[in-house]
């Protein structure tokens, strides 16, 4: 290897990383800008965070989004784990292809399609059985769980496939019942995958604009919906502050979880 190529490589890498991080760093920097003008630096100030704290519309939406994300992640992890378990451990069974298709199709389905189809289901259900009367938290959560299941399934399934099956078989041979084997052996071993799946489902739900817009009803705007309508009107320092908080919150969560998983991985070898 001669000396020129690493230089070209490092320049290209530096450019790529700068491209990934510069916009985010700029938003964070400008959230502390005193001036209302988004492009002029008017000195350090926390006043946009103060205004954010007084904006009930944003706080309401944030609360709703966090609740939806937590519910979605929990339900998606339960259902996705079952699906992953079936696909990785049950061998060949009738319906395997269908389950495999159903857990991978939403991954490649465009968001607009997921949102539109979920809404049409809720409207048809309302006509047929009178439920859901109002669209909002429940309908958004159901639609989010549906696509989040697939991400959890992928994670859990790949973890189970990598995992040594012999421990489970040994427990089974010693007379443990399948359900006990799952709770005592399989579950602790796939716990990192469950945590990763939960976090991924949580952030996907928290981030989603399109599916929520289709399945939401009046007075049930989620945080991305509020941000979207504000951004459509123009860049505001308040959104800079909000973006900073969301980005730091997610980055901190992912970093802590990653560090915990790393440590656990070291401890268990």
Q: Which CB sits closer to another protein, 26 or 67?
A: 26
Contact 107, 151 (CB under 8 A): yes
The reply on whether position 65 binds another protein by CB under 8 A is: no
Task: Classify residue 49 as exposed, middle or buried by CB count within 10 Å of its CB (0-12, 13-18, 19+).
Answer: middle
Angle, alpha carbons 234-240-245 (nearest 5°) = 145
Number of C-beta neighbours around residue 249 at 10 A: 13
Residue 112: cis peptide before it, omega within 30 degrees of 0: no
Q: At its nearest, how many Å lie between another protein and the CB of residue 127?
A: 7
Contact characters 69-108, another protein, x per CB under 8 A: ----------xx-xx-xx---x--x-x--xx--xx-xx-x
Q: At its nearest, how many Å lie between another protein and the CB of residue 149?
A: 6
Q: At its nearest, how many Å lie between another protein and the CB of residue 117?
A: 4
Q: Which CB sits closer to another protein, 47 or 106?
A: 106
Q: At its nearest, how many Å lie between another protein and the CB of residue 177?
A: 4
Q: Which CB sits closer to another protein, 53 or 112?
A: 112
Angle, alpha carbons 192-101-103 (nearest 5°) = 30
Among 42, 50, 178, 265, binds another protein (CB under 8 A): 178
Q: Which CB sits closer to another protein, 12 or 53?
A: 12
Residue with tokens 């938290």: 137
- Contact segment (CB under 8 A) with another protein among 50-58, 120-128, 129-137, 159-167 equals 120-128
Q: At its nearest, how many Å lie between another protein and the CB of residue 56?
A: 21
Q: Which CB sits closer to another protein, 106 or 217?
A: 106
Among 20, 129, 174, 233, binds another protein (CB under 8 A): 20
- Contact segment (CB under 8 A) with another protein among 48-56, 128-136, 157-165, 250-258 equals 250-258
* CA proximity to 153, closest of 109, 207, 119, 106: 106
Q: Which two tokens stand for residue 212?
A: 């929520």
What is the dihedral sign for C-alpha 23, 29, 31, 34?
negative
Instruction: Tell me how many residues contact another protein (CB under 8 A).
Output: 86
- Supply the DSSP string of 23-71, one letter for each residue: HHHHHHHHTTBSSSSSSS---B--HHHHHHHT-HHHHHHHHHHHHHHHH
């Amino acid at each position: 290897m001669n000396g020129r190529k690493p230089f070209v490589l490092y320049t290209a890498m530096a450019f790529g990383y700068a491209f990934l991080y510069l916009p985010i760093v700029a938003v964070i920097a400008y959230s502390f800008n005193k001036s209302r003008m988004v492009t002029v630096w008017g000195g350090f100030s926390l006043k946009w965070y103060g205004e954010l704290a007084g904006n009930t519309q944003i706080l309401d939406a944030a609360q709703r989004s966090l609740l939806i994300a937590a519910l979605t992640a929990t339900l998606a992890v339960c259902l996705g784990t079952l699906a992953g378990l079936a696909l990785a451990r049950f061998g060949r069974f009738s319906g395997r292809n269908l389950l495999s298709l159903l857990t991978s199709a939403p991954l490649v389905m465009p968001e607009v399609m997921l949102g539109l189809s979920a809404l049409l289901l809720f409207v048809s259900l309302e006509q047929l059985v009178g439920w859901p009367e109002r669209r909002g938290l429940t309908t958004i959560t159901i639609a989010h769980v549906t696509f989040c299941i697939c991400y959890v399934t992928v994670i859990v399934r790949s973890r189970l496939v990598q995992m040594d099956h012999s421990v489970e078989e040994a427990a089974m041979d010693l007379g443990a019942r399948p359900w006990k084997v799952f709770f005592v052996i399989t579950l602790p071993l796939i716990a990192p995958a469950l945590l990763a799946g939960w976090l991924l489902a949580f952030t996907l739900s928290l981030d989603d604009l399109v599916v929520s817009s289709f399945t939401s009803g009046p007075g049930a705007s989620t945080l991305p919906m509020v941000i979207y309508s504000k951004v459509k009107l123009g860049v505001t320092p308040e959104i800079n502050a909000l973006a900073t908080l969301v980005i730091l919150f997610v980055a901190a969560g992912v970093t802590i979880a990653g560090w915990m998983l790393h440590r656990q991985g070291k401890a268990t070898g």
